Chains A and B, each alone.
Chain A
């Protein structure tokens, strides 16, 4: 980045924020859908989907990154198809870093949304039916607003976790300054270089400040929403 050529911290911060934002934006609608399906729908293979969604929590992040390379790498079928049809290049790009982050934080998001969904009184749905509301109507006017606390919590958690995603990003998107070198990757790089101690400390402190800010925002949002819902 040319705006702050000397400021590795700012560049890493900007990249981290961008990657986390894009990852949340990409995965949130999908997470709402998957959480809804896992909570409300009854179908064969629900357990399989459940396990699949939670895999990134238990796999080594490097393995997730490697799996993404196998799937969406430059010569992998999905990667070839994406480039041919949409011109989307994933490996070694910021978009790729966002995808890797999204996959890693997806289970966190689904869990938070699912929790709030399970807390919704199913009786409210029956009440809405007797008032003449069809399925889509009920989802938009009842389920969605009532799961808003979970959606917000999921988004904030995933965002905060996404700022620090390391293993999957470095495996799938590599460590390219200005493209995929996010805060943790910059910190790692600084620690590896003989004269990077001061930079490493600054990056670590920056991560700490960012984490605290994220948690505070999450708490404020949660309070506001709780008051709105009268709980």
Chain B
């Protein structure tokens, strides 16, 4: 577990944040700029002193203002990947990597130099100096350097923020393989929701120095607190499911989700893989009776659990489809026409194609596996 409870007052800004999240796993701190994400990770790293609070990792107290405990950053064994990389300009990429490795202490390393070089594709870069690297390459070297210090926890403070979309796509798979192949706990700071969806197991929502909500990503995706942070277009249930069958020629797979199955457009995943999909609320159609003759591949029968008050973006309807919940956005006029209320039975219609681009490999641990029907 990573337990954090911290307070810090600065001119015109107060941060009071507490959360606890299981480790290993990827804990995402998500919120707009200025919400206190970086301040929070700096305090976890020990680089910034909190006014009061505690930080505890795996049973070890790193910070406790009441007991006067403040382990120095150089003793915490917490790796930190900074937004700007912060590679040492007078050392080569290899020298930067070894800087952390040399100071890792006596404990046997759990990641080896060669392993990191291979994992992050750094082989060709080792002899180069930071100024001879592209931004994406620098981000990867910074990641490798932090890893080789054999940290108990890896803090990633918007490591992709300075990269354009193409470069982000170049680095993200490396982060995914870190998560899946080394079971190192990570705290991932981001204000990009798609990065959070791809990487996180646990989500902490931050705004104006406060934690709005925290929990597994699948749970938080349904929470109203998330909606203002990502805007109406990105609202939608996130579901983790097991691939039960693959239609390779058709480019779709069947996912076991809740008590039902969902056909989604996805290639290159085998049976048994865990897959995360986001069903955007605006893509979901609700029907109060079975519908024939539509191209829609998924009709999930469920019960309306909640109908949110209408606003400019329409009405959000939460539907329980046998243990899993989905969100659908419909117009106020449609809600009135269907006379939708909590407890009503409805079919949620989901196009297999509409999940495309939101299908990500799900973290292997430590989230409970998708509630399988058997």
Contact = CB atoms under 8 A, between A and B. Distances in A.
Given A123-B86, A131-B100, A230 B131 contact: yes
Contacts of B84: 123
Interface string A125-149: 0111111111001000110011000
B80 A127 contact: yes
A129 B82 contact: no
A130 B132 contact: no
Interface string B113-144: 00000000000000001111000000000000
A231 B99 contact: no
A227 to B, nearest CB: 10
Contacts of B75: 132
A198 to B, nearest CB: 50
A3 interface: no
A127 B82 CA distance: 8
A128 B99 contact: yes
B86 A124 contact: yes
A126 B75 CA distance: 13
Contacts of A124: 86, 88
A230 B130 contact: yes
Interface of B: 45, 47, 72-80, 82, 84, 86, 88-90, 99-100, 103-105, 129-132, 145-146, 149
Nearest to A120: B89
A131 B146 contact: yes
A130 B129 contact: no
A133 B90 CA distance: 16
Interface string A171-204: 0000000000000000000000000000000000
Contacts of B145: 131
A129 B74 contact: yes
13 contacts: A126-B73, A129-B47, A130-B45, A130-B74, A130-B76, A130-B149, A131-B74, A131-B145, A132-B103, A132-B104, A132-B105, A146-B89, A229-B89
Contacts of B73: 126, 129-130
B90 A130 contact: no
A230 B72 CA distance: 31
Given A129-B73, A130-B45, A228 B90 contact: yes
A22 B10 CA distance: 50
B77 A126 contact: no
Contacts of A6: none
Given A126-B47, A146-B90, A132 B82 contact: no
Interface string A103-132: 000000000000000000101101111111
Nearest to B105: A132
Nearest to A145: B90
A130 B79 contact: yes
A117 to B, nearest CB: 14
Nearest to A124: B86
Contact of B80 (A130, A141, A146): A130
Contacts of B89: 146, 229-231
Nearest to A135: B74
B45 A131 contact: no
A142 B105 CA distance: 19
B86 A127 contact: yes
Contacts of A141: 99
Nearest to A228: B90
4 smallest A-B Cβ distances: which pairs?
A132-B103, A230-B131, A130-B80, A127-B86
